[in-house]
Amino acid sequence: MINLETAYHLLCQSAQLLPCERVSLAHSAGRIIAQPIIAPIARPRYPLSAMDGYAVIPPTLTIRQQFRIIGSVAMGEIPPHHPYSNECVRVFTGSILPPNCAGVIPQEDVVIKGDCIQVRASTQVAQYVRHQGADYRRGETILSAGTRIDAGCIALLAATTTKNVPVVCRPHIAILSTGSELISYDSPTIPPTAMIDSNRPMLAQLVAHWGGTVIDCNIADDTVDAVREKIAAATEQADIVIVIGGASVGADDVSQEVAQGLGCQLLFRSMSVKPGKPTWAGMLGNVVLLGLPGNPLSVYVVAHLLLKRLIAYMSGVNSSMSTMQSGILFNDSIAPQGDRDAYLIAHRQWEKDHWSVEVARRQASAFIRDLASCNCLVYRHAQAPPVKKGAQVAICPL
């Protein structure tokens, strides 16, 4: 067995980074930027007025100083007037300043007298100017590779007239459940002895949420031929193939045997983590094969700890573990930890000045009810002592 971080680094050393493509700005939300975005123009492109007022040449004004109004500049208009030192131009918020003007007198700081204005208070007019390139300069990197595009990024890309955005291709992730006892939740008839496959739809939702394109490989019986056929077909389409089940020590568990028969180079056979000990991984050509235990809680936890980070790494995104936070244990004490690191499903909520953490009482791998309210994992290192109610615990936000 190897620990979680060793398993992750072995996968990163072998997995291929995803190629890039260009998509329209309208379809880029949620995608990962593949290369730095360089501003082709400055913003603002010209010095702009930050106030409704009057553009003047002198940088400092005194009380009762007067200027003659010689015209105005509307928003979006190139200034038609170049005032002299005793003249001013009417401007509005966002108007381009005449090139020889130092700044703007706010309209509330003047008294209008015919075709002139008189200054009511001493002021530094430059403070009311949005200078050229104040937001960003031409040639400046405004978005780095590895950035996930959100609404703010969309605004920035639109402002720089970026019509097509270079993004990382979505990873194609095939999901296969194995087990002769399994049946799909949407089957027309469900025999009373059948076990409904909840892993595949759960994992498909997680993969889609993490930016992957799901390839549903359905269910394979626990036979070498059935599993081989499904895995072989999946590797023709996917960047990552996930095989759920068939990864423990039972007589019918054939997934590793089949993978090796197809030429898979195993990276590891099990992990020293609870839940998730039977997790294995290997490379079949450039395709990652990831075998997950068949129990839902194991699938959920290992997917967050390993698969999510692998997708991020292949997409060029920071894939380090979520920063551990601390919380206060709300419910009963936690027993001493055994010889493997453990991640306990839990729910946290903010209480005045701390996270209050309630660990699910049922941590057996086959139980799924508490997954619906799980929003963090409580980390327990191997051989950790017991923890009492009210004590601090380390939590990994989900």
Give the neighbor-by-neighbor strand order of the sheet with 66-73. Answer: 103-106, 53-56, 87-91, 66-73, 116-119, 110-113
Q: Which residue has the tokens 């979680």?
A: 4
- Kindly state whether residue 382 falls inside one of the protein's structural domains: yes
3-state secondary structure of 209: helix
β 213-220/280-284 pair status: unpaired
Instruction: State the CATH number of the domain containing residue 284.
Output: 3.40.980.10
pLDDT digits (tens, 9 = 90+) for 147-202: 999 999 999 999 999 999 999 999 999 999 999 889 999 999 999 888 999 999 99
Q: What is the pLDDT of residues 63-82, one digit of tens each?
A: 999 999 999 999 999 999 89
Please state, as a whole number, how many other Cβ atoms lie within 10 Å of the Cβ of residue 353: 6
Q: Which of 259-273, 310-324, 383-397 has the lowest mean pLDDT?
A: 310-324
Q: How far apart are CA 229 and CA 365, in angstroms?
A: 28
Residues 187 and 224 in one domain: yes
303 shares a domain with 378? no
25 in a structural domain: no
CA distance 281 to 243: 10
Clarify whether residues 200 and 269 are in a common domain. yes
Residues 6+ apart with CB under 8 A from 78: 96
What pLDDT is recorded for position 371?
94
- Does 206 share its domain with 285? yes
| Residue 96 covered by a domain | yes
State which of 314, 334, 352 marks the end of a domain. Answer: 314
Question: Averaged over 370-379, what is the pLDDT?
Answer: 95
Q: Give the CA dihedral 370, 346, 269, 174, nearest 10 degrees.
A: 60
Q: What is the pLDDT of residue 193?
A: 87
Residue 256 neighbours by CB distance under 10 Å: 20
179 and 284 part of one domain: yes
Distance in angstroms between the alpha carbons of the first and the last residue of the chain = 25
* Beta partners for residue 118, in sequence order: 66, 111
Please check whether residue 67 is in contact with residue 49, taking contact to mean a CB–CB distance below 8 angstroms.
Answer: no
Are 268 and 217 within one domain? Answer: yes
Share of the chain above pLDDT 90, in %: 88
Distance CA 55, CA 50 (A): 11
Residue 160 sits in the same domain as residue 266 = no
- Where is average pLDDT lowest: 69-78, 180-189, 262-271, 360-369? 360-369
List phi, psi (to 5°) of 290. Answer: -125, 115
- Which domain covers residue 162, as residue numbers? 31-41+138-168
Task: Give the Cα separation of 344 and 342 in Å (integer).
Answer: 6
Structural contact between residues 235 and 284, judged by C-beta atoms closer than 8 angstroms: yes
Which stretch of 114-118, 237-241, 320-324, 377-381 has the lowest confidence by average pLDDT? Answer: 320-324
Spell out a b/e string for 296-328, using b for 16 or more CB atoms within 10 Å of the CB, else e.
bbbbbbbbbbbbbbbbbbbbbbebeeeeeeebb
For 221, phi then psi, to 5°, come to -65, 160
Co-location of 236 and 185 in the same domain: yes
The rounded mean pLDDT for the chain is 94
With a cut of 80, say whether residue 251 has pLDDT above it: no
Task: Write out pLDDT tens, residues 31-51.
Answer: 999 999 999 999 999 999 999
Residue 108 — very low, low, confident or very high, per pLDDT cuts 50/70/90? very high
The residue to which tokens 């626990």 are assigned: 222
Are residues 175 and 148 part of one domain? no
Within this chain, do residues 176 and 275 fall inside the same structural domain, yes or no?
Answer: yes
User: How many domains, in total, are found in the chain?
Assistant: 4
CATH number of the CATH domain containing 87: 2.170.190.11
- Whether residues 310 and 179 share a domain: the answer is yes
Residue 389, pLDDT > 50, answer yes
Residue 22 in any domain: the answer is no
* pLDDT tier at 248, thresholds 50, 70, 90: low
Amino acid symbol at 172: H
- Do 145 and 35 form a contact (C-beta atoms < 8 A)? yes
- pLDDT tens digits, residue range 160-169? 999 999 999 9
Q: Is residue 72 part of a domain?
A: yes
Compute how many other C-beta atoms are within 10 angstroms of the C-beta atom of residue 229: 13
Choose the final residue of a domain: 295, 314, 333.
314
Residue found by looking up tokens 């269910």 in the block: 219
Mean of the pLDDT values across residues 89-117?
96
C-alpha triplet 366, 239, 284: angle, nearest 5°: 85
**pTM attached to this predicted model:** 0.88
The candidate with the shortest Cα–Cα distance to 165, out of 44, 38, 45, is: 38
Are 253 and 290 part of one and the same domain? Answer: yes
CA distance linking residue 87 with residue 101, whole number of Å: 10
Task: Give the start-end residues of each E strand in 82-205.
Answer: 87-91, 103-106, 110-113, 116-119, 123-124, 129-130, 141-143, 164-168, 172-178, 182-184, 195-197
Given this model, what pLDDT does residue 246 score?
56
Considering 102, 130, 158, which residue would you say is the last residue of a domain?
130
